[in-house]
Amino acid sequence: MPRIATVQLEPSYMDPEAGLERIRHFTAQAAAEGAELVVFPELLVPGYPRYVPDPFPHTEEGQRLWSDIQRYHRAYLEHSQLIPGPFTDRLGEIARAHDTALVVGVSEAHPRRRSCIWNTAVAIDRDGTYRGKRRKLVAVMHERLYFTRGGREDLRTFELDGNNVGIAICFENHHPQIRRAFGELGEEIHCALWTGPAPREVAAGGGSHEQHKALGVAHALDTGAFVVISSQVTEREPDGGDYGSNWSHSGGSYIIDPLGRTLASVPDWEEGIAVADCDLSHIDVGRLVWNPFGDDLRDDLFPSPFD
């Protein structure tokens, strides 16, 4: 029965070294509570990118914004990481020191091409072994101007401490075919890596705009897997500064069982961790009534993503 932790935190913007120290801190905290797998949010290093303004501005304010995003973009590229490389080596040291597997979201740099990056998640086993990466297949909004899409090789899961772990990033969790692909690959634990943007007027009242829990429950009920949701969070009114977030992020981090029940969660607008024991035999209980990857799959009528 794996004990799993989800972490909700704000990135250390454009500071990978500080980000690694934050990962170390929260991993140590989760390990002290017995966690064997610790899940971190999307693009924790170097942070979720800022929106791209009009590249043909017709006002002085627009010209200032376009000039500033060029400065920001150069820094974003500079602090994206080679995967595998020194960044995953450091994650391996953290995992090994605390005997816990890690899933972490990071901006991945191309080893040769300038201005080519991916929205990536990496998987590290408890002994520090790098198990691989997954690149996000579908970008949304301004992400398309930053990130290259992943490919067919990114329809994969990872074996972490003997468990079959899938990872989906942000709006991939809306995608029914990605959900089905992970199920066909035998996913037992689904890690959903998110940000949690909210309009300022919603944030000011302590509300949220995200639908992480609803999508997590849907994934659990559709596939019979455990779902671990980890999201970024900010203050309700972040000032942004040179490299920080101009958007408010409410969080939205949960652990959900195969029957759609919430086992643990982190309060909105707070950093923290939530830990739960995940009895994988409950997958069999969920599939006793509805088995989406047995005869109920009807792959004779609905082709597999792998066909």
Catalytic residue list: 42
Tokens of 101: 């597997």
**In 246-287, where do the E strands start and end?**
248-249, 253-256, 262-266, 272-277
Cα(first)–Cα(last) distance of the chain, in Å? Answer: 33
Alpha helices in the chain (DSSP H): 16-32, 60-78, 86-98, 143-146, 176-184, 200-204, 212-223, 281-289
Return the C-alpha torsion angle 79, 82, 86, 91, nearest 10.
90
CA distance 87 to 81: 7
Tokens of 253: 């981090």
Tokens of 20: 């690694």
